[in-house]
């Protein structure tokens, strides 16, 4: 079994129909869905409609993500809504038959890492059981969006208590944060649960000048795949069209085609 290739889809039925057609015509196996505040307005009937569209075209749901919500907020109302959205997201992921569920760890500003880890374990243990029951791999994103996972050390502390936690790994994000993304892969490739394929092309002063197709920027994809194979990664590679240029319109479609073409020699 080899790694599977997908991409981040739109969230509305009309455009998901188009994404499924594009995926089928261009050799992609799965679609990923992500919601920030939009999870509030997502209804179950729409999710069921998306599932039917995917089933019709033989396309899988690779991942469902709930982003930006502070599940550890010290404000009771904020936490209550965040956890309600977490529950909603797990249910939506189950309807879609997703393989992976991704969210942030939450954040408690100005508190030490030990306090954050203790609260994370307390809050998330019952939700991890729900994910396990739904056969979802629990992944947590890092370095942005209400997530105390601001570096590898935070994951290491959580793994001492909850070893089933996986990283939603985006080399470009880690690189931009100033971390050695290859070091993370070399040491903890076995803890990667989902991968975003996104490119960063840097110009002077560490400025992201473009986010084009894979292979056109500064991420060392050959080295990334070397460590993925060493750790026998068999999960999803989800291409992320991003930015005002390559993230929309015709350039989005070209980015998806060019990225698949670039990655194909690494997939055996």
Q: Give residues with Cβ within 8 angstroms of 60, minimum separation 6.
A: 4, 6, 29, 30, 31, 54, 97, 99
pLDDT at 2: 87
Helix/strand/coil (H, E, C) string of 132-152?
Answer: HHCCCEEEECCCCCCECCCCH
141: in domain: yes
- Asked if residue 208 is part of any domain, the answer here is no
Query: What is the structure's pLDDT at 1?
Result: 64
Q: Please identify every stretch of the chain with a pLDDT value under 50, giving residue numbers as ranges.
A: none
- The boundaries of the domain holding residue 25 are 4-166+187-196+221-240
Structurally, the chain folds into a number of domains equal to 1
Residue 110 lies in a domain: yes
Question: Is residue 179 one of the residues assigned to a domain?
Answer: no
Backbone angles phi and psi of 100, in degrees to 5: -130, 145
Residues in the chain: 268
Residue 204 domain flag: no
Residue 173 forms part of a structural domain: no
How many Å apart are CA 138 and CA 53, to the nearest integer? 25
Tens of pLDDT, residues 181-193: 999 999 999 999 9
CATH number of the domain enclosing 148: 3.20.20.150
pTM: 0.97
201 falls within a domain:
no
Angle between helix axes 221-230 and 181-188 (nearest 10 degrees) is: 10
Q: How far apart are the first and last CA of the chain?
A: 9
């Amino acid at each position: 079994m080899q790694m599977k290739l997908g991409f981040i889809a739109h969230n509305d039925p009309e455009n998901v129909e188009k994404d499924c057609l594009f995926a089928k015509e261009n050799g992609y196996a799965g679609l990923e869905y992500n919601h920030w505040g939009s999870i509030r307005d997502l209804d179950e009937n729409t999710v069921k409609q998306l599932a039917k569209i995917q089933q019709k075209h033989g396309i899988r749901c690779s991942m469902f993500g709930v982003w930006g919500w502070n599940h550890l907020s010290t404000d009771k109302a904020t936490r209550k809504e965040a956890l309600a959205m977490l529950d909603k997201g797990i249910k939506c992921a189950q309807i879609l038959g997703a393989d992976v569920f991704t969210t942030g760890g939450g954040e408690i500003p100005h508190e030490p890492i030990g306090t954050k880890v203790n609260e994370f374990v307390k809050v998330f243990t019952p939700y991890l059981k729900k994910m396990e029951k739904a056969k979802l791999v629990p992944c947590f994103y890092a370095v942005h969006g209400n997530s105390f996972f601001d570096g590898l050390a935070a994951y290491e502390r959580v793994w001492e208590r909850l070893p089933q936690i996986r990283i939603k790994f985006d080399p470009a994000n880690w690189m931009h944060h100033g971390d050695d993304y290859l070091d993370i892969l070399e040491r903890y490739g076995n803890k990667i649960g989902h991968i975003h394929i996104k490119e960063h092309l840097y110009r002077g002063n560490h400025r992201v000048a473009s986010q084009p197709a894979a292979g056109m920027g500064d991420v060392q994809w050959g080295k990334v795949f070397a460590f993925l194979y060493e750790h026998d990664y068999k999960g999803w590679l989800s291409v992320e069209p991003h930015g005002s240029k390559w993230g929309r319109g015709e350039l989005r479609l070209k980015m998806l085609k060019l990225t698949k073409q670039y990655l194909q020699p690494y997939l055996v």
